[in-house]
Amino acid sequence: MLTRDDYLRQQDAARAAQQPLAGPFPAAPANSLVAQAVADQMDQAARKQDPLQTIFAEVNARLRTEHRLAGVDLTQASQDVRDLVEEKVVECVKDYQRRAEAGRVPPLAIATTEAVQAILDQFFGMGILQTLLDDPDIEEIIVRGLYPIITMGARGFEVSALRFRTAEEALGLVRRAASRMGRDITPQNPEVNVRTRDGSRLHALMTPLTFNVPFVITIRRRRLVATTIDDLLELGTITRPAAEFLRAAVTARLNILVAGGTGAGKTNLVNVLASFFGPQEYVLTIEDNPELALPQEYVTSLVVRERSEGVLPITTQDLVRAALRMRPDRIIIGEARGPEVVDMIDAANTGHEGTLSTIHADNAEDVLARIRALYTRAGLNVPQETIVQETVRAFQLVVLIRRVSPQSTRREVAQIMEWTGRMEAAKPERNILFENTGGGLHWTGSPAECGPRLQQYGFSFQEIARM
């Protein structure tokens, strides 16, 4: 591959021989002085940029002009293409270093191998975020402008040593992730919410929606810390009697609503509960971001589609209605957060047994308040009492999960309760079966109204509760 110095020498030789030039650069200027001026102008521009971004741009230019790779999704490229890109990156890094040694551009602040890897991560991954995304203990990544990047996960709140050097570098990664879904982030469209290639949820805002930083990027990892009930037992999330009760409830096809706050582990718990489904059951999952990883063979995952230019959105409500026409044995709705709650409750009340869903609520009372609010948001003028009655008929069990503390990464099931279906002073009667009052999750001593249903499937609630 030609360097700029090679190019200048070749141009002089070509002019003497009156032969056309070969190489990665545009057609030769009229004379070597003009060519030198062009090279100087390019180097002058490079002095104003971050070195890695300069090299990244030069690799992109060579891939575009020499190999017509402009616009290709390199994250899904073949090994041959990946090898080619790596070769070009190495060439451009070495070329840049020669120019830096000559004093024409700023020197690299990192080793050659680190520079090569950083640029490859921009092509095939998420740039400097890739090392954080590869860390299995990190659940959330927060980028606040050019400040050090914040992470949260198994090690708690941490401030990373990593930071973006320029806004262009950070927003370039967002744009590449967004382009897969036909989206973009610009001052005219300053918000974007998309899925990354590995299934993580990426949300980004930029000015004018941000004030004290030029942009903020939040990435929530697709990280299931537990996939089996034994995992939850080992983590201390649940006790053996409560776990066996939930296994019996899922097998007996009771409808279960998992409630909790943000990051409480609702999706993780639903994923474990779904592992109790039968191997021959046909399961439909509906999520705005695919996070569930079910072990069954017959699983179809439906994912919402957000509105983009020229494309109408497909909402969770649309997918719930579609699911009812697909004759599934089980339906899992990732989270009820909009008008889909109406169709979900209607489906659970019309024979779709064994439905699982999650809802954002901090306690059992909040569950009903949240559902009433979602009915109102859907524009339905339904009496409050009717909404409550429909809800308690639809879901027999509510499982409340929470973080042990706001700073902790450990979760615990705080309560398992059932709605009896009876009303007292316009309020549904609750029967708390298991509760954690500070000493762990224990049976309250109350008999289960769903006991006869469990008995039909070969389970004894009394034996389970006394384990």
Among 220, 247, 281, the domain boundary falls at: 220
Torsion of CA 273, 274, 275, 280, to 10 degrees: 140
Which span out of 5-14, 107-116, 220-229 was modeled with the highest average pLDDT? 107-116
Query: How high is the pLDDT of residue 30?
Result: 45
Question: What are the tokens at 39?
Answer: 């090279």
84 lies in the same domain as 135: no
Global pTM reads: 0.70
Q: How many CA atoms lie within 13 A of 172 on its CB side?
A: 19
- Please check the confidence at residue 24 and state whether its pLDDT lies above 70: no
The candidate with the shortest Cα–Cα distance to 11, out of 26, 25, 32, 34, is 32
DSSP state of 26: P
CATH of the domain at 381: 3.40.50.300
* Strand pairing report for 411-424 and 397-403: antiparallel
Q: What is the mean pLDDT of residues 108-116?
A: 85
The CATH number of the domain holding residue 157 is 3.30.450.90
Find the helix packing angle between 79-101 and 112-124, rounded to 10°. Answer: 140
Lowest-confidence pick of 21-30, 32-41, 145-154, 178-187: 21-30
User: Do residues 81 and 176 both lie within one domain?
Assistant: no
Q: State how far the Cα of 462 lies from the Cα of 446, in Å rounded to an integer.
A: 10
Last residue of a domain, one of 220, 250, 269: 220
Whether 61 and 138 map to the same domain: the answer is no
**Per the structure block, which two tokens stand in for 288?**
């705005």
Torsion angle (degrees, nearest 10) of CA 355, 356, 357, 363: 110
Number of domains into which the chain is organized: 3
Q: Which of 347, 350, 367 is nearest to 359 (CA)?
A: 367
**pLDDT score, position 17:** 40
- CA 144 centroid distance within chain: 18
The reply to whether 101 and 147 lie within a common domain is no
Q: What is the DSSP letter of 311?
A: B
Range of the domain at 396: 229-465
The residue among 276 and 379 whose pLDDT is bigger is 276
- Name the nearest CA neighbour of 408 among 271, 221, 265: 265
Q: Give yes or no for residue 223 having a pLDDT over 70.
A: no
- The position carrying tokens 């296994």 is 247
* Per-residue confidence band for 31, with pLDDT thresholds at 50, 70 and 90: low
| pLDDT tens digit sequence for 354-407 | 999 999 998 877 888 898 888 888 787 888 888 888 888 889 999 999 988 766
Which residues neighbour 446 within 8 Å (Cβ) at sequence distance 6 or greater?
Answer: 431, 432, 433
Asked whether residue 44 carries a pLDDT value surpassing 80, the answer given is no
Query: Are 190 and 166 in a shared domain?
Result: yes
Mean pLDDT of the chain: 82
Taking the C-alpha atoms of residue 378 and residue 434, their distance in angstroms, rounded to an integer, is 33
Distant-in-sequence, close-in-space partners of 261: CB < 8 Å, separation ≥ 6: 360, 361, 362, 402, 403
Instruction: Select, from the ranges 67-71, 111-115, 123-127, 142-146, the one with the highest average predicted confidence (pLDDT).
Output: 142-146
One domain, residues 281 and 310: yes
Q: Which of 220, 247, 273 is the last residue of a domain?
A: 220
Tell me, yes or no, whether 149 and 189 share the same domain: yes
* Domain co-membership, 185 together with 139: yes
* Tokens 């308690």 sit on residue: 392
pLDDT for 22 beyond 50: no
Same domain, 201 and 346: no
How sure is the predictor about 41, in pLDDT bands with cuts at 50, 70 and 90? low
d(CA 375, CA 10): 74
Per-residue CA distances from 392 to 299, 335, 396, 397 (Å): 28, 18, 7, 9
Tens of pLDDT, residue by residue over 232-247, are 999 889 999 999 999 9
Q: Are 416 and 245 in contact (CB under 8 A)?
A: yes
* Same domain? 340 vs 198: no
Euclidean distance between CA atoms 168 and 172, whole angstroms: 6
Q: Are residues 374 and 264 in the same domain?
A: yes
- Residue 412's pLDDT is 92
Residues 330 and 443 both lie in one domain: yes
